């Protein structure tokens, strides 16, 4: 009896090891994140890992993450979008402008309706601009780098026009809830329970499907280990943030966005076509893929996500300003690259980008806790970005 249990546990360890080797990139970056967390936790004597800080950390990463999640697909197709930061900023000032100056005249005393309209407006602007950029890049053939660089300047100007240099308040009720709200504690647990149930259902369902097709399934112990580990992470997170104020609405939003994008990227022809055309455009075209439409749609998606990010940004900071969104595009790009997206196109994952931006946010947050001056924060972040990518390159070469 005893010997069999030893054998299975050894088998599982082997299987886990195999998984790690197969997913070297993902494993590496997760390990890196854990190392950084441990490091900061020790240096800050536990303050870093405290529930209030964890809560803040996740909220701080939302805007960049939402941008990074869209950026992954843009970079995967071999493009780049330098306009996302300032565009999200533009959406945020537009939304703030509507909140502060327009709705109260048109529909006074209806804050819920006003907030809803603001969201719709922000998303619409996102989609429309995405369509315009996508059209210019894919149908007119102007390189993405140039198009989006141009748009970055355009948004700089547009933001100045809308704000007139002033700060516009966007802290009205309901609207604030989008990025400052918390789920009631009990609802947090309910969400966690639902997600965990879904995880287990998916796992068993996919095993059943595989068996129906006559494929060997992973060891049950391995699948269980993976699902349980993920569930524990979720439970731990909800427990931590419930110690403070509860699950934040924007974090939930970010997770939903990331999930949808990840699913789109790996499980639909659209997503797979994007990866293929980034890897070899000519082979993709000869495979019957409509390259132009695919690239166009990716920019539309990116625009939509900029809209989401802009709304969250306005709600989070509570006002629209001329500096809104400055430099976010670089944070988003760095998150992608840190998360294993190839700058040459063709490969990269949404999950990696999320972890990448969590690492970036952790660095900022941890260094702030340690009272490191902004100057050194930049220097450390820059060095870590380059160093981390080097480690990745090194391991790939010596696999």
Partner 1 sequence: MTEEIILDVQNVTKQFPGITALSNVSIQFKRGEIHGLCGENGAGKSTLMKILAGVYPYGTYDGSVFYEGQELKLTSNSIKEARAEGIAIVYQELTLVPDMTVGENIFLGKEITENGVINWDKTYAECRKILEHYKLDVNPNDVVKHLGVGKMQMVEIAKALSENAKVLILDEPTSALTEAEIDKLMEILESLQEKGITSIYISHKLEEFFRITDSITVLRDGKTVITAPTKELSLEKLVSYMVGREMKERFPHSTRKPNGTIFEVQNLHAIDPEEPSREILKGVTFDLKRGEILGIAGLMGSGRTELVTTIFGEMGKITSGKMLLEGKEINIKSAKDAMEKGISLVPEDRKKQGLVLIQSILNNLSLPNLYSFSKTWRIDKNQELKSCLQQVKNLSIKISNIENEVNSLSGGNQQKVVIGKWLMTIPKILIMDDPTRGVDVGAKYEIYKLMNELAEKGVSIIMISSELEEVLGMSDRVMVMHEGRSNGILDITEATQEKIMALATGIA
The footprint of partner 1 (CB under 8 A) covers 22, 209-210, 212-215, 267-270, 272-273, 275-276, 279-280, 282-290, 342, 346-347
Comparing CB distances to partner 1, the nearer of 231 and 280 is 280
Comparing CB distances to partner 1, the nearer of 10 and 22 is 22
Comparing CB distances to partner 1, the nearer of 209 and 323 is 209
Shortest spacing between CB 286 and partner 1, in angstroms? 5
Comparing CB distances to partner 1, the nearer of 132 and 389 is 389
Comparing CB distances to partner 1, the nearer of 207 and 381 is 207
Residues contacting 87, CB < 8 A, separation 6+: 126, 129, 151, 152, 155, 303, 306, 310, 325
- Rounded to whole angstroms, how far apart are CA atoms 381 and 356? 12
Shortest spacing between CB 283 and partner 1, in angstroms? 5
Shortest spacing between CB 198 and partner 1, in angstroms? 16
Residues contacting 74, CB < 8 A, separation 6+: 80, 81, 144, 298, 299, 302
Comparing CB distances to partner 1, the nearer of 1 and 286 is 286
- Rounded to whole angstroms, how far apart are CA atoms 381 and 366? 11
Triad 100, 149, 341: Cα angle to 5°: 100
Residue pair 73/274 in contact (Cβ under 8 Å)? The answer is yes
Shortest spacing between CB 68 and partner 1, in angstroms? 21
Q: Output the DSSP codes for 6-44.
A: HHHHHHHHHHHHHHHHHTHHHHHHHHHHHHHHHHHHHHT
Q: Could you tell me the two tokens for 75? A: 């970079």
Shortest spacing between CB 252 and partner 1, in angstroms? 24
Shortest spacing between CB 218 and partner 1, in angstroms? 13
């Amino acid at each position: 009896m005893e010997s069999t249990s030893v054998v299975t546990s050894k088998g599982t360890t082997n299987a886990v090891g195999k998984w790690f080797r197969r997913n070297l990139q993902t494993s590496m970056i997760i390990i890196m994140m854990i190392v950084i967390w441990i490091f900061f936790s020790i240096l800050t004597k536990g303050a870093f890992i405290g529930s209030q800080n964890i809560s803040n950390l996740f909220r701080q990463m939302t805007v960049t993450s939402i941008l990074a999640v869209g950026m992954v697909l843009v970079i995967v197709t071999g493009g780049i979008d330098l306009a996302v930061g300032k565009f999200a900023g533009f959406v945020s000032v537009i939304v703030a402008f509507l909140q502060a100056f327009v709705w109260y005249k048109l529909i006074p005393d209806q804050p819920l309706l006003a907030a809803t309209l603001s969201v719709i407006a922000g998303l619409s602007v996102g989609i429309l601009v995405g369509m315009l950029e996508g059209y210019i890049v894919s149908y007119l053939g102007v390189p993405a780098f140039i198009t989006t660089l141009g748009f970055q300047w355009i948004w700089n100007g547009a933001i100045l026009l809308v704000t007139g240099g002033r700060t516009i308040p966007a802290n009205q009720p309901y609207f604030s809830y989008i990025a400052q709200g918390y789920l009631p504690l009990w609802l947090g647990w309910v969400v966690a329970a639902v997600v965990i149930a879904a995880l287990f259902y998916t796992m068993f369902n996919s095993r059943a499907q595989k068996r129906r097709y006559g494929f060997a399934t992973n060891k049950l112990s391995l699948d269980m280990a993976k699902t349980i580990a993920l569930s524990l992470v979720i439970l731990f997170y909800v427990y931590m943030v419930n110690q403070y104020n509860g699950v934040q609405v924007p974090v939930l939003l970010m997770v939903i966005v990331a999930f949808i994008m990840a699913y789109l990227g790996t499980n639909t022809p659209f997503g797979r076509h994007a990866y293929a055309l980034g890897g070899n455009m000519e082979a993709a075209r000869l495979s019957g893929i409509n390259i132009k439409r695919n690239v166009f749609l990716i920019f539309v998606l990116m625009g939509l996500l900029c809209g989401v990010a802009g709304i969250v940004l306005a709600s989070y900071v509570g006002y629209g300003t001329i500096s809104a969104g400055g430099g976010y595009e670089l944070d988003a790009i760095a998150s992608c690259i840190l998360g294993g997206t190839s700058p040459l196109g063709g490969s990269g994952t949404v999950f990696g980008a999320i972890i990448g931006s969590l690492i970036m946010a952790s660095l900022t947050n941890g260094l702030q806790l340690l009272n490191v001056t902004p100057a050194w924060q930049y220097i450390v972040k820059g060095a870590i970005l380059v160093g981390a990518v080097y480690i990745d390159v090194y391991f790939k070469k010596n696999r």
